[in-house]
Amino acid sequence: MSAAPAVAAAIAFVWLGMVLAISFLEAPLKFRAPGVTLQVGLGIGRLVFRALNAAEVIWAVAVVTALAAASPPAWATVALAAAIVMLMAQLLLVRPRLARRSAAVLAGQHAGRSRAHYAYVALEGAKVIALLVGGILLLAS
């Protein structure tokens, strides 16, 4: 294995670890902590997900750069491209809706449960699978 696919695989797995830790561990647990109100949890969540998404954009650029320097298997490229598409959908389509809802809640307005949240979680799950598959395929090449 040349260095570029190994670097791309490492990036994919670091990215995967961040998503798993934040989206599937930190996000649900913060609302279970004593004294954390919906408003406090949303405020924390907005900061954490803004930072996560910024890091994800950096990882996406890094993985594209590493793949451009390699001759990766087509399916690895497809899987990692899918992860990037999921990220872009989250950032461009879903996050703005979630941001409007959380801003309303933080302003003291009653905002019902948002379907956008379910879309974000579904995209996050698909991104996890894509990153895992892409990383494994790169390691297997």
Q: Summarize the confidence of residues 123-129 as an average pLDDT.
A: 98
- Higher local confidence (pLDDT), 42 or 125: 125
Long-range contacts of 106-114 (CB under 8 A, 24+ apart): 106/39, 106/42, 106/43
**Tens digits of residue pLDDT in 47-65:** 999 999 999 999 999 999 9
At 74, is the pLDDT very low, low, confident or very high (cuts 50, 70, 90)? very high
pLDDT value at position 133?
A: 98
| Residue 70, burial from CB neighbour count under 10 angstroms (0-12, 13-18, 19+) | buried
**Confidence (pTM):** 0.91
Range of the domain at 25: 3-140
Q: How many domains does the chain have?
A: 1
pLDDT value at position 89?
A: 97
Q: What is the CA radius of gyration of the chain?
A: 17
- Looking at every residue in the chain, the average pLDDT score rounds to 92
Q: CA–CA separation, 105 vs 115, rounded Å? A: 15
